[in-house]
Amino acid sequence: MIHRVNLNLLRSLKVLLEERHVSHAADKLNLTQSAVSRQLSQLRSLFADPLLIREGNTLIPTPKALQLQAKLAHWFLELDDLLVEEAFDPEKWHGEFVLSSSDYVAQYILPNIFEALAVQAPNVSIQYRLWQPDLLPQLATSDIQLASSMSPTQPEGVSSIQIGEDVPVCVMSRAHPLAKQDSLSVTDLLAYAHIKVIGGGDKDSYVDEALANLQKQRRFALKVPFFYAAAQSLCQSQHLMVIPEHIARNLKKHFSLTYKPLPITTPRHKYWLLWHAKYDNDPSHLWIRSLVLQVMSEATYSIGYDAKS
């Protein structure tokens, strides 16, 4: 039966039951009297009931019509709620938000995001996932709602906004034999084994591509998904590590590390907030990604702070 009904027909029935007069209903609906009479005929056929019986100058509703009137009043209220969206209020937002990035972001920037969220949207919890580049094509079906990562170009197939950019550098212990040099050569870069941080986005494949063009390659002593473990291992060894400059600068504040420019030219690292296009116009997502972007532009450990400075 539902395929035979249109919204205008039900609206006309609602007004007819309120006015109980064809011409008055026609005025209210901005239709001709004959058009409303035709609609009433269609409604009688649809519901297999006369619905309204003429009594002098007015129309008397049948018991069936009175039942429909109560249901229509409720149905149109529900329809209004469906079509008229209430302004988003973060204080009333209840739920869980899934955010994904590197362990560096988790350690140094996530606490700022959590603090801001706790004040402005106290009923929302955060679930944090370690980002991997192969998750990008899975955003359509994944429960990850927002991610931050790095890519030399704007990622395809997802919505994004650039946070900032910088260059890769070579990090080492302050006690390393290369630490006192102003610059490094390719020979220096390859003379020692490297540590590679494999969690989060791609941080150093540009270096390997540039070295491959020289028929050279690095030797890896350790591959680990966590910056803290990598930095601590670097302090206790003569290994090298290639990471983004803003991360190297901030790790230097907490570990006995220093860093040097690379002896090869590589593309600049670009950093992005990423989300699937299905969230583009979602009010809660619009609000929280604006909050995350603001935090990343103000947190001193973030690339966004560098871009703002």
User: Does 86 or 19 have the greater pLDDT score?
Assistant: 19
Compute the average pLDDT of residues 209-225.
94
pLDDT of residue 303 exceeding 90: no
Euclidean distance between CA atoms 307 and 298, whole angstroms:
10
- The pTM of the full predicted model, rounded to 2 decimals, is 0.70
- Bridge partners of 194? 220, 240
- The answer to whether 171 touches 259, Cβ cutoff 8 Å, is yes
CATH number of the 2-83 domain: 1.10.10.10
* Token code pair at residue 52: 């309204």
pLDDT of residue 77: 78
168-261 topology per CATH = D-Maltodextrin-Binding Protein; domain 2 (3.40.190)
pLDDT of residue 287: 95
Beta-strand (E) ranges in the chain? 52-55, 58-61, 95-101, 124-130, 146-150, 159-166, 168-173, 194-197, 220-224, 240-244, 257-261, 269-275
Q: Which CATH superfamily is domain 90-165+269-308 in?
A: Periplasmic binding protein-like II (3.40.190.10)
pLDDT of residue 205: 83
pLDDT of residue 185 exceeding 90: yes
Please report, for the chain, the start and end positions of each structural domain, with discontinuous segments joined by +: 2-83, 90-165+269-308, 168-261
Per-residue pLDDT band at 1 (split at 50, 70, 90)? very low
- The answer to whether 273 touches 147, Cβ cutoff 8 Å, is yes
- CA count, 13 A, side-chain hemisphere, 153: 2
Compute the average pLDDT of residues 46-66.
88
Compute the average pLDDT of residues 127-150.
91
pLDDT of residue 309: 46
- The answer to whether 218 touches 195, Cβ cutoff 8 Å, is no
pLDDT of residue 2 exceeding 80: no
Per-residue pLDDT band at 305 (split at 50, 70, 90)? low
- The answer to whether 99 touches 109, Cβ cutoff 8 Å, is no
pLDDT of residue 300: 81
Least trusted range by pLDDT, from 2-6, 86-90, 267-271: 2-6
Q: Do domains 90-165+269-308 and 168-261 have the same CATH topology?
A: yes
Euclidean distance between CA atoms 83 and 98, whole angstroms:
28
